[in-house]
């Protein structure tokens, strides 16, 4: 996959094109991308995906603290690369670009810069100023430019259309199984290991505190999870806790992300780590004392070993 920063000097020859945010690159996105690649191969031209950076919501919404996404830009690029597309065009999204009307985008960018002859859009896709560019408008704008516009249906699973919104809601509600099913892979997050209070070590379960790579990466619901941990070029089983440590903290506490890597006790502060969420074990609980917490963590370890080993 060739990555292009912007759309100048591309020299593409009548490619098949799609565009979107592709947050999470889930099974619905993959269904669309499969059609894109298939059409391009049949027409013996290149497949092109257009996406935007930063995420439009970061530009258009003032309350950034309320925003969270399934994938960082780096994760999204890696997932798109796995889809087998030929070219990824990354367009900088800013206020000026957001004011571009849909038909102007079709004419000035898709037609003149990218030389698109076949455009594939999702079932609910909108683009252009204030999202005015729905399928009918896009099709009408493209007809005079000899661009074929095709709309694909949303992918249905268990009666639900697969969408990034549904997956985000599932993760925030503790529905990891559903989220992983809709994604088509196990949800993950990456970060750096930072110093903690070392309370886990005192009860036989040393943990690594994780600072996510992106402040906008969605953190799943509080609770305990069976996870696979990528660290030091190894992939190891672990149990991860997300929450405010109510057994330890007397006050409201600060939300933390801590992982106990099974059969691993090295100093890895400052190193990169990736967590792959396999199964949600339970809600976060407050125990009367540290002994009860240690007993429950032993049970969590047994369940994690049963699931992952």
| DSSP secondary structure string for all residues of 112-155 | TTT--SEEEE-TT--BSGGG-B-HHHHHHHHHTTT-EEEEPPPP
- pLDDT exceeds 90 at position 25: yes
Give the span between the Cα atoms of 36 and 190, in whole angstroms.
29
Q: Please, what is the average pLDDT of the chain? A: 92
Q: Which helix (H) or strand (E) holds 35?
A: helix 27-43
Q: Over the stretch 286-298, which tens digit does the pLDDT of each residue have? A: 998 999 999 999 9
How far is residue 12 from each of residues 7, 104, 111, 150, 242, measured CA to CA in Å?
A: 10, 20, 11, 20, 47
pTM of the prediction?
0.93
- Which tokens in the block code for residue 250? 């007397």
> What pLDDT sits at residue 162?
95
Using an 8 Å Cβ cutoff, are 49 and 12 in contact? no
Kindly state the helix (H) or strand (E) to which residue 297 belongs, with its residue range: helix 290-308
Helix (H, G, I), strand (E, B) or coil at 97: helix
- pLDDT, one tens digit per residue, over 150-161 is 999 999 988 889
Of 131-135, 144-148, 184-188, 235-239, minimum mean pLDDT range: 131-135
Q: Measure the CA–CA gap between 47 and 91, rounded to whole angstroms.
A: 17
pLDDT for res 131: 67
Report the pLDDT averaged over residues 1-30: 96
**Model confidence over 185-229: pLDDT tens digits?**
999 999 999 987 777 777 878 899 999 999 999 999 999 999 999
Q: Does 265 have pLDDT greater than 90?
A: no
Calpha distance 289→59 (Å, rounded): 46
Q: Is the pLDDT of residue 48 over 70?
A: yes
Secondary structure E strands in 8-69 = 16-19, 47-53
For residue 248, name the pLDDT band (cuts at 50, 70, 90).
Answer: confident
- For 96-133, the pLDDT digits (tens) are 998 888 889 999 999 999 999 999 998 877 776 666 76
Query: What sign has the CA pseudo-torsion 297, 303, 307, 309?
Result: positive
Q: Say what the pLDDT of residue 18 is.
A: 96
């Amino acid at each position: 996959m060739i990555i292009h920063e912007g759309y100048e000097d591309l020299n593409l020859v009548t490619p098949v094109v799609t565009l979107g945010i592709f947050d999470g690159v889930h099974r619905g996105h993959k269904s669309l991308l499969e059609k894109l690649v298939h059409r391009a191969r049949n027409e013996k031209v290149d497949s092109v995906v257009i996406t935007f950076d930063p995420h439009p919501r970061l530009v258009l919404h003032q309350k950034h603290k309320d925003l969270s996404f399934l994938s960082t830009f780096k994760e999204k690029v890696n997932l798109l690369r796995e889809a087998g597309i030929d070219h990824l065009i990354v367009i900088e999204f800013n206020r000026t670009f957001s004011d571009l009307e849909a038909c102007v985008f079709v004419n000035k960018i898709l037609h003149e810069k990218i030389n698109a002859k076949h455009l594939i859009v999702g079932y609910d896709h909108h683009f252009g100023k204030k999202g005015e560019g729905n399928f009918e408008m896009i099709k009408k704008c493209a007809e005079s430019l000899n661009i074929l516009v095709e709309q694909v249906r949303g992918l249905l699973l268990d009666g639900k259309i697969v969408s990034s919104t549904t997956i985000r809601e599932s993760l925030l509600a503790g529905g990891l199984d559903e989220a992983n099913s809709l994604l088509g892979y196990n949800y993950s997050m990456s970060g750096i290991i930072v110093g903690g209070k070392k309370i886990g070590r005192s009860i036989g379960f040393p943990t690594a505190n994780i600072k996510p790579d992106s402040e906008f990466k969605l953190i799943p619901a509080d609770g305990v999870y069976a996870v696979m941990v990528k660290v030091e070029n190894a992939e190891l089983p672990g149990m991860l806790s997300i929450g405010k440590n109510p057994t330890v903290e007397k006050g409201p506490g600060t939300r933390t992300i801590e992982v106990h890597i099974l059969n691993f006790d090295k100093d890895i502060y400052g190193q990169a780590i990736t967590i792959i969420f396999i199964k949600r074990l339970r809600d976060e609980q407050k125990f009367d004392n540290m002994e009860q917490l240690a007993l429950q963590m032993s049970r969590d370890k047994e369940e994690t070993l049963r699931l992952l080993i």
